[in-house]
Amino acid sequence: MSRPNLLQAITRIGTLAAVVLALGGAAVPAWAGRNCDVQHPLKAITAERGLRLAERTLKALDASGAEVVILARAGQDLSKYGLRYSHLGFAYQQPDGTGGHVWRVLHKLNQCGTAVSAIYRQGLGEFFLDDLWRFEAAWVVPTPEVQARLMDVLRDEPRAIQLHHKPYSMVSYAWGQKYQQSNQWAAETMAMALAGTDMTPFVGREQAQAWMQLRGYQPSVLKIDAFTRLGGRMSSANIAFDDHPSAKRFSDRIETVTVDSVFDWMARARLTTLPVAIMR
């Protein structure tokens, strides 16, 4: 990619860190879910690959005709659990003030391995400007009705963060309320947006989870033994298992919300018009 083309892409994908890199500087990305005791500058080749992925994703999303998609990245290697993607968010169009649009991503991040999280609105560049395990994007295109309901929520700041719960665990129980991981927030927020007249009054996470169960959502079941659970809990502030029912936990069954399970559910529930698309 030539420098002029790169700068044009940066304008569309919306990331200040990318501008710094394009001009020859270095940037430190948001290390979602990683320990930040020692910060390492993002390698130039890593940044370039992330920006190329963002540009290809931008073109594909523009060509899709969608206004909202559920977008995923592969930030961690989860292959031992049979999972391909680690993190998802809502990518949606936002007017740019000139009659055109830009794509923004609303998602939840656990910064620096702490026990809390926050909601972020970022450009596509920032979403992929991370030390990804695999430079690959995946998304599903919701039906027009689902897109419309999601857009109403995504552009409304109070509603967009209404179900956010700061206490964080990477493996939070899918049907619990003590913690909330990133994919869980996204699934619950989508349930809140779609419940509409299906549920009145609609007030919080418990109701969102009830709607998901009613519509057939099934969490991923991770096989994590006691030794691994103990090591994870002792070494990482963002890993906890005490919200899982004892019977399931002691049988090494950890039920949590994953990208793969959300994509599968949306297809089964006919909430999407297109299958998962992959951009490498």
Cite the DSSP H helix spans in 155-204.
157-160, 182-195
**Domains, the chain:** 3-279 (3.90.1720.10)
Phi, psi (rounded to 5 degrees) for 279: -125, 110
Beta-carbon contacts of residue 177 (< 8 Å; ≥ 6 apart)? 165, 205, 206
Query: Using one digit for the tens of pLDDT, what is the confidence trace for 203-237?
Result: 799 999 999 999 999 999 999 988 677 666 556 88
pLDDT digits 0-9 by tens, 241-266: 999 999 999 999 999 999 999 999 99
- For the chain, which ranges sit under pLDDT 50? 1-11, 15-35, 38
Other beta carbons within 10 angstroms of residue 164's beta carbon come to 15
**Residue whose token pair is 């920032």:** 126
pLDDT number for residue 233? 56
Q: What is the pLDDT of residue 232?
A: 62
For the sheet containing 87-95, what is the strand order?
Answer: 118-123, 101-109, 87-95, 68-74, 134-142, 272-279
Is-contact 256 83, C-beta < 8 A? no
For residue 144, the model assigns a pLDDT of 97
